[in-house]
Amino acid sequence: MYYKGVYHLFYQYNSHGPTWDAGTISWGHSVSLDLVNWSALHNALDPNSLFDAKGCWSGSATILHDDGTPIMLYTGVTATGVQVQNLAFPKNASDPHLREWVKPSYNPVIPLPRDVLNDNFRDPSTAWLGRDGFWRVAVSAQIKDSVAASTLIFRSKDFRRWERNAEPLYESGPAGMVECPDLFPVAEPGVQNGVDLLAPSDAAARHVLKLSVMATHQDYYVVGRYDDAADTFALAGADNDCRTWHRFDYGHVYASKSFYDAGKKRRVLWSWANESDPVQDYVARGWAGVQTVPRKIWLDGDGKQLLQWPIEEIETLRIKRGVGLQLGAEVNAGGMKEIMGVAGTQADVEVVFEVPALDGAENLDPNQLLDPQRLCGENGASVRGGVGPFGLLVLASSDLQEHTSVFFRVFRHDGEYKVLMCTDLRRYTASKKLLKYRTDVYKPPYGGFVDIDIQKERSISLRTLIDHSVVESYGGGGRAVITARVYPEHAETSNSRLFMFNNGTGVIKVPKLDAWELKAASIAQ
C-alpha cells in the first residue's frame, strides 16, 4: 500500500527458515520511497494469539475513506487448525512507517462459516465501499461437498461485524480451491491511469477478477462487470472455469496481488516467483521464493485483456548502456549476434523484431492451441522453424553450452497467424551449490500465445529483465509475460553474456535494440 508518501510491502515470512511451518508464519514488513530500494522493519504481525497461533497468513490492506487510516484483514489459523479472518490496525497512524500493529482481542471478526471446510477459508481481499455505505471484502472458500471454487462476499459497517452475502461474488467450475482473490476496477480501454477501488462504483465500469488456483499453481484473471447491489461478478465473453481465463504470467508466478498507487495514480501488481524443488533444497539455499519486479497494469485498447509493464522506477537502476548496438540490423537465418558491453547477470534489454515475410509460418494443429507450454517444449530454440524461433539467449556461458532462451515463433492456423512466446530453461546445468537432495532443479519450458495481429503489425517487441536467478520477459508490449527462476553453473565463476538469434528460414530485422547493465537495488536489513 501507499501511505503518507511511503510504500509498504507486507509479505509471508518465516524468520526461522525458508519453510512453510505452522506457527512460524508472520507478516514481514518493508518500506520504500520508490518501490525499488527497500528497508526491512520488524515484523508487522506475529502468531502470538489464540486466533492466529498457527500462523498469520495472507490478507490485504484497506485505506479507510473517512480518515485515511490503514486497516488489515488477514487469515489466522487458530490453535485448533481452523482458518478465520482477523483484523489489525496501526498503533500510531501518524507514523508513516507504521512500525507497530495492534490485533484486537475481539478477533476473529469473520469466523469459519458452517458450510466451509475448516482449512479452506482464507486470503481476504482489499475491502471496498458500496453505494449503500457498507464495506465489502472477498474471501476464498471451499464449500463442503463441492468441486467449485467459491469467492465469498462479506459486508460490514464498521469492519468488526461482518455478514455473508447470500450469493458468492463468483463460483468457478470444477477448479477446486482458489486463493488470493483480487477484484479491482479499471479505466477505459487504453487509458493507463489506475482506478481506486474505494472510488464510488459505476455500474458501467469494467472490473477485473483474479484468482489463484491451487491445483495448477497459476494465476488467472478475467474482465467483467461487478454488480455492487447483488455483490456478484459477471464475465464478459469468457468460460465459467477460471482455468481458461487470461494469465498474468505464463512462467513461475503465483499469488499475485495488486494495489492502487495513489501517489502516481496507477495500479501496481506484485507477484511471487516461487520454487518447485524439495524443501531440503530450500533449506540448503536459504530461500524459497522472491517477489517479482512490480508491474503497472491497465486495460488494453481492445478491452479484453490487461497490459503489464515494469514500473518506470526500475529504469533508475540502469548504469551502463551496451555498445555497438546497430539499429536496423538483421539476424540472418541460423544467425546469432552478441549484445556487447553489458554484463548479463543484471540487465534490461528492449528489442523490436521485424518480420518481413510470413510465408514460411508452420501450420498449427488445433489441439496445439490448448497447450502452449508443451508446444514450446516440442519446438525449442534449437529446432529450426519457418518464421522463428527468434529472440534472445540470456544468462549464456561463453561457449553457449548454458543459456536460457526467450523467443517467438509464428504459426499459421485457420487462415490467421498465431505468435507463440517461450522461455526455455532446459539448456543449463544447475549450480551444484544449490542442490543437495536432487540431481537437478525444476527447469521446464514455459509458453503462451501473444494476442497480437502479426500480419498487420509485422513486428513484435520483447523486453527482458535479468537479475541473477530471475528472468522476466514482456512480449508484445506486455500482452504476454513469462517469469523464470534460473540457476546456471557458469554464473558462479564467469560472467553471463547476451545474444540475439534467429533459427528460422528467413531474415529477421531489428529496428530497435537497447540494452543496459543494472546496478543492484538498495536492500537494507
Q: What is the CATH number of the domain that holds 140?
A: 2.115.10.20
Tell me the C-alpha distance between 9 and 356, whole Å. Answer: 45
What is the pLDDT, as a whole number, of residue 351? 96
What is the pLDDT, as a whole number, of residue 239? 87
pLDDT at residue 471 above 70? yes
Q: What is the pLDDT of residues 52-64, one digit of tens each?
A: 999 999 999 999 9
pLDDT at residue 317 above 90? yes
Q: What is the CATH number of the domain that holds 397?
A: 2.60.120.560
Q: How confident is the model at residue 289 (pLDDT cuts 50, 70, 90)?
A: confident
335 and 224 co-located in one domain: no
Q: How confident is the model at residue 324 (pLDDT cuts 50, 70, 90)?
A: low
Mean pLDDT across the stretch 281-309? 91
pLDDT at residue 453 above 90? yes
CB proximity list for 211: less than 8 A, separation 6 or greater: 140, 149, 151, 170, 172, 175, 178, 179, 180, 181, 219, 220, 221, 242
Mean pLDDT across the stretch 116-134? 93
214 and 331 co-located in one domain: no
CB proximity list for 424: less than 8 A, separation 6 or greater: 376, 377, 380, 381, 404, 405, 407, 445, 446
What is the pLDDT, as a whole number, of residue 436? 55
Burial class (CB in 10 A: 0-12, 13-18, 19+), 287: exposed
Q: How many separate helices (H) and strands (E) can be counted in the chain?
A: 3, 39
Among residues of the chain, what percentage have pLDDT more than 70? 95
246, 277, 310 — which closes off a domain?
Answer: 310
What is the pLDDT, as a whole number, of residue 202? 64
241 and 323 co-located in one domain: no
Mean pLDDT across the stretch 470-483? 97
401 and 497 co-located in one domain: yes
pLDDT at residue 92 above 90? yes
Residue 150: count of CB within 10 angstroms of its CB: 23
pLDDT at residue 513 above 80? yes
Q: What is the pTM of this model?
A: 0.95
Mean pLDDT across the stretch 396-424? 95
275, 310, 345 — which closes off a domain?
Answer: 310
Mean pLDDT across the stretch 157-164? 96
Q: What is the pLDDT of residues 243-285, one digit of tens each?
A: 999 999 999 999 999 999 999 999 999 999 988 777 887 888 7
Q: Are strands 101-102 and 116-122 parallel, antiparallel or unpaired?
A: unpaired
335 and 291 co-located in one domain: no
Tell me the C-alpha distance between 447 and 218, whole Å. Answer: 13
For residue 110, the 8-state DSSP code is B
Q: What is the DSSP string of 426-448?
A: -SSPBPGGG-SS-SS----EEEE
What is the pLDDT, as a whole number, of residue 197? 85
124 and 273 co-located in one domain: yes
43 and 156 co-located in one domain: yes
290, 310, 330 — which closes off a domain?
Answer: 310
Q: Cell for 165?
A: 452475502
Q: What is the pLDDT of residues 16-57, one digit of tens each?
A: 888 888 788 999 999 999 999 999 999 999 999 999 999 999
First-to-last alpha carbon distance for the chain, in angstroms, is 20
Higher pLDDT, 204 or 107: 107
pLDDT at residue 201 above 70? no
265 and 166 co-located in one domain: yes
Mean pLDDT across the stretch 322-334? 75
Q: Do the Cβ atoms of 118 and 82 come closer than 8 Å? A: yes
pLDDT at residue 325 above 70? no
Tell me the C-alpha distance between 344 and 365, whole Å. Answer: 37
What is the pLDDT, as a whole number, of residue 438? 53
58 and 189 co-located in one domain: yes
The average confidence (pLDDT) of the chain is 92
Q: Cell for 271?
A: 507477484
324 and 386 co-located in one domain: yes
Rama region for 60: left / alpha / beta (φ>0; ψ in -120 to 50; rest): beta
387 and 291 co-located in one domain: no
Q: What is the pLDDT of residues 165-176, one digit of tens each?
A: 999 999 998 888
Angle at 420 between CA 416 and CA 426, to 5 degrees: 155
pLDDT at residue 331 above 90? no
Q: 98-112, 360-374, 487-501 — which is least confidently predicted?
A: 487-501
Tell me the C-alpha distance between 112 and 169, whole Å. Answer: 17
168 and 243 co-located in one domain: yes
- Using DSSP, state whether 456 is helix, strand or coil: helix
Q: How confident is the model at residue 65 (pLDDT cuts 50, 70, 90)?
A: confident
Q: Cell for 86?
A: 482477523
Number of domains into which the chain is organized:
2
Provide the residue range defining the domain that includes 49: 2-310
